[in-house]
Every structure is written in C-alpha cells, then in structure tokens.
C-alpha cells in the first residue's frame, strides 16, 4: 500500500469512529450540524490547498533554461 492509501484509510477510520462516538451522546442538532459543517469546510480548504500547491509546482517545472552560455 502506498502512503496516500494508508492516510486515506486512517482518516476514514478516525472520522467514522468520531461520528460513532458523537452519535452516542445526545447533543443538540445544532452542535452536530456545526461539527459536520466544520469538517466539510476543512475538507474544502485542504483540497484547495492541494490544488494550489500542485499548480505552483507545475509552473516551476515548466521553466525553460537556455543552453547558451553567456560570457562577460
């Protein structure tokens, strides 16, 4: 298994356990909705970070350097 797969599986296990424990407590629906919306917002921000990081790294690798030497 690759490291990415292990990370995804562990994130799914942690989030499933968290929601299982959260559902055992009798919290108001508004608190549960806040937790869910925070998780969704965090996921969206993390995906945006990954997209920006990939875009920034791809522009750095496409830089063309001239093979001609300049002597002074």
Over residues 14-34, the pLDDT tens digits come to 888 887 887 787 777 888 788
State how far the Cα of 16 lies from the Cα of 31, in Å rounded to an integer.
Answer: 17
**Residue 54 resides in a domain:** yes
State how far the Cα of 30 lies from the Cα of 17, in Å rounded to an integer.
Answer: 20
Q: What single-letter DSSP state applies at residue 69?
A: -
**Residue 14 resides in a domain:** no
Domain that holds residue 48: 27-58
**Residue 16 resides in a domain:** no
pTM of the model: 0.49
How many structural domains comprise the chain? 1
State how far the Cα of 69 lies from the Cα of 72, in Å rounded to an integer.
Answer: 10
For 42-62, the pLDDT digits (tens) are 889 988 988 888 887 776 655
**Residue 65 resides in a domain:** no
**Residue 64 resides in a domain:** no
**Residue 50 resides in a domain:** yes
**Residue 3 resides in a domain:** no
**Residue 66 resides in a domain:** no
User: Cα-Cα-Cα-Cα dihedral of 35, 42, 16, 9, to 10°?
Assistant: -170
């Amino acid at each position: 298994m690759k490291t990415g797969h292990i990370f995804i599986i562990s994130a799914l296990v942690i989030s499933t356990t968290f929601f299982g424990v959260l559902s055992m407590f009798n919290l108001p629906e508004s608190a549960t909705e806040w937790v869910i919306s925070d998780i969704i917002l965090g996921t969206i921000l993390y995906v945006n970070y990954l997209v920006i990081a990939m875009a920034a790294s791809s522009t750095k690798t496409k830089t063309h350097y001239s093979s001609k030497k300049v002597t002074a």
